[in-house]
């Protein structure tokens, strides 16, 4: 017999090796010896009260063996001589599109402008230490896309777009810990993602697909409403039948290329703001009710999620990284962009989060109307150039103490930071456009009321967090093709159809299924 139900246990029960078994037996009114095994379906922490509880959803196997098989079987075929589908970009959308093509019997040919995961590391080091951005290989471009070196948080609200469990199972199949199948807010970690991504690439090649690195697409040849060829930066030309465009939200050259060719694009609303960085023990103290004391060893570094309406405009936390660090995510020299990430253990001494506000492409960008569909992109670029200038014309970032930002004062000193290129004190309260700065200042005060201790001079704000999502939408029809280019499938974050690793992966699968028909 199998019973599925919810179990709540406290810290002391969680500490015991058989605590979950004993509680399950007690709740079911039976002896622990009658339980053959417990399969954990979901785990979360309830820290709303001082008595912290662990919530489990479990399947309890009573007097029968517990199966150990996966819920999914991935039927990868040899596609060495199969019909090709070209995929531009090898982030989550491109990777999962390629894997799905192989399952469906088509040969994926992946064109990635950046380098493989190992070679990317040298270019990341150059950004952090030498303040030099390789415009084809950085925190956004390269094998695995932005996700590879940007944390690997797997939480998604996009439950209607595809089979989330299938995406998670596939990550486990390629080397991720099976803990991601259980945690309410799963996370792989910056240190472990590169190996998972490498395994995916090796599997694609093993079954006959192709993955070409340092292969930037520079032009399309279009005839009779179809792309018939792709031009590469080295002058080569590839004949194509179907193209999945999965270049991510930062591939501005692709947006410019499509716009120059008069291919329909649309300006898209998005969000911009800053990163805020606190000592992790401050966030732990607030969330776990242990101010002045270290958190219990069974508890992970605490996170938070905050939202506030300011003058009918949302201000909210984005990509919160407990026990993490802030990284330079620019894709070109002359701009400063910050992002956050965490290692798998989330054991760094800082917590950081994007705090951003909504930018309405239809109402807020009247000074940029002459840029047409690229108006939000140009607004984004201007803010990143401003950050570069105010940060000292290097990858050092403009920063301010949180309290000074809200009170409108230049910070004479800054707090310690995890951001390796360094910080430069700057009056972000006056440099940021009023629509952003004014909203954030009110938002931070409200957050301080919701989380006592959050509003503190021990926190820095660091600019700018500008790559939350694509500022451009590449439209597509119900068949997932572009309305004007019938064999072009805009996909993932770059097309405006995803907001993270999992939603991008699901969209990659959907586009592959559409392209393979």
Contacts of 436 (CB under 8 A, 6+ apart): 272, 273, 357, 359, 383
Helix ranges (H only) for 214-337 are 252-260, 280-288
Measured from the Cβ of residue 317, the count of other Cβ atoms closer than 10 Å reads 19
- CB burial of 489-517 (b: ≥16 within 10 Å; e: otherwise) equals bbbbbbbbbbbbbbbbbbbbbbbbbbbbe
Tell me phi and psi for residue 210, to 5 degrees.
-125, 140
Q: Give the whole-angstrom CA distance, residue 355 versus residue 32.
A: 47
Q: Give the whole-angstrom CA distance, residue 82 versus residue 95.
A: 18
- Partner residues linked to 107 by β-bridges: 84
453: left (phi over 0), alpha (psi -120 to 50) or beta: left
Q: Give the whole-angstrom CA distance, residue 274 versus residue 353.
A: 8
Question: Which helix (H) or strand (E) segment is 322 a member of?
Answer: none
Kind of pairing, strands 84-88 and 243-245?
A: parallel
Q: Residue 225 to residues 62, 83, 162, 243, 486: CA-CA distances in angstroms? A: 61, 21, 29, 13, 6
3-state helix, strand, coil in the chain (%, to 5): 30, 25, 45
- Tokens 């599109």: give the residue: 97
Q: Give the whole-angstrom CA distance, residue 76 versus residue 96.
A: 12
Sheet holding 226-232: strands in order across? 217-223, 226-232, 237-239
Tell me the mean pLDDT per 10 residues along the chain, length 517.
94 95 94 92 94 96 81 88 98 97 98 96 96 96 86 63 83 91 86 92 98 98 97 97 97 97 97 98 97 93 96 94 96 97 92 97 96 98 98 98 98 98 98 97 97 98 96 98 97 93 94 97
Tell me phi and psi for residue 14, to 5 degrees.
-65, -30
Q: Residue 284 to residues 56, 292, 349, 365: CA-CA distances in angstroms? A: 22, 10, 11, 39
- What count of Cα atoms within 13 Å lies in the side-chain half-sphere of residue 315? 22
Tell me phi and psi for residue 262, to 5 degrees.
60, 25
- Partner residues linked to 54 by β-bridges: 9, 45
Q: Look at residue 67 in the predicted model and tell me its pLDDT.
A: 79
Tell me phi and psi for residue 2, to 5 degrees.
-125, 130
Q: Are 359 and 367 in contact (CB under 8 A)?
A: no
Q: Give the whole-angstrom CA distance, residue 395 versus residue 407.
A: 26
412's tokens: 């004479």
Q: Give the whole-angstrom CA distance, residue 40 versus residue 38.
A: 6
Kind of pairing, strands 488-490 and 226-232?
A: unpaired
| 349: nearest Cα among 432, 418, 288 | 418
Q: Look at residue 191 in the predicted model and tell me its pLDDT.
A: 85
Helix ranges (H only) for 227-279 are 252-260
| 325: nearest Cα among 185, 460, 177 | 460
């Amino acid at each position: 017999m199998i019973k599925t139900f919810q179990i709540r246990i406290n810290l002391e029960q969680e500490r015991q090796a058989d605590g979950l078994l004993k509680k399950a037996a007690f709740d079911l009114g039976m002896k622990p010896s009658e339980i053959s095994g417990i399969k954990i379906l979901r785990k979360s922490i309830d820290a709303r009260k001082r008595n912290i509880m662990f919530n489990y959803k479990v399947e309890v196997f009573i007097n029968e063996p517990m199966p150990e098989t996966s819920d999914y079987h991935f039927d990868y075929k040899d596609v060495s001589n199969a019909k090709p589908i070209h995929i531009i970009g090898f982030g989550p959308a491109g990777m999962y599109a390629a894997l799905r093509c192989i399952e469906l019997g088509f040969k994926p040919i992946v064109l990635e402008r950046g380098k493989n995961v190992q070679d990317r590391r040298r270019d990341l080091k150059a950004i952090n230490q030498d303040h030099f951005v390789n415009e084809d290989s950085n925190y956004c471009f390269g094998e695995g896309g932005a996700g590879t070196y940007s944390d690997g948080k797997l939480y998604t609200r996009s439950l209607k777009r595809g089979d989330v469990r299938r995406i998670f199972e596939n990550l486990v199949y390629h080397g991720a810990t099976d803990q991601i199948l259980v945690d309410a807010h799963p996370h792989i970690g910056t240190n472990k993602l590169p190996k998972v991504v490498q395994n995916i690439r090796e599997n694609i090649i093993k079954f006959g697909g192709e993955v070409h690195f340092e292969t930037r697409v520079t032009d399309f040849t279009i005839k009779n409403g179809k792309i018939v060829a792709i031009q590469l930066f080295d002058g080569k030309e590839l004949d194509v039948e179907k193209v999945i465009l999965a270049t991510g939200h930062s591939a501005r050259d692709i947006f410019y290329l499509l716009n120059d060719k008069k291919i329909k694009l649309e300006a898209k609303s998005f969000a911009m703001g800053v990163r805020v960085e606190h000592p992790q023990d401050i966030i732990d103290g607030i969330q776990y009710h242990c101010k002045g004391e270290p958190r219990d060893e069974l508890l992970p570094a605490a996170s938070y999620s905050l939202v506030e309406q300011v003058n009918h405009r949302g201000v909210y936390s984005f990509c919160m990284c407990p026990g993490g660090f802030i990284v330079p995510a620019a894709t070109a020299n002359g701009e400063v962009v910050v992002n956050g990430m965490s290692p798998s253990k989330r054991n760094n001494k800082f917590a950081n989060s994007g705090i951003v506000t909504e930018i309405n492409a239809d109402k807020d960008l009247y000074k940029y109307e002459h840029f047409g569909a690229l108006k939000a992109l140009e607004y984004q670029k201007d803010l990143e150039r401003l950050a570069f200038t105010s940060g000292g014309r290097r990858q050092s970032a403009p920063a301010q103490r949180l309290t000074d930002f809200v009170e409108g004062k230049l910070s004479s000193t800054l707090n310690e930071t995890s951001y390796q290129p360094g910080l430069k004190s700057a009056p972000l309260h006056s440099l940021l456009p009023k629509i952003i700065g004014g909203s954030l200042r009110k938002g931070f005060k409200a957050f301080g009321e919701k989380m006592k201790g959050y509003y503190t001079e021990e926190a820095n704000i660091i600019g700018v967090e500008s790559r939350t999502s694509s500022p451009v939408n590449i439209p597509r029809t119900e068949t997932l093709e572009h309305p004007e280019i019938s064999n072009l499938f805009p996909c993932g974050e770059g097309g405006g159809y995803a907001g993270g690793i999992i939603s991008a992966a699901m969209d990659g699968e959907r586009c592959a299924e559409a392209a393979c028909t």
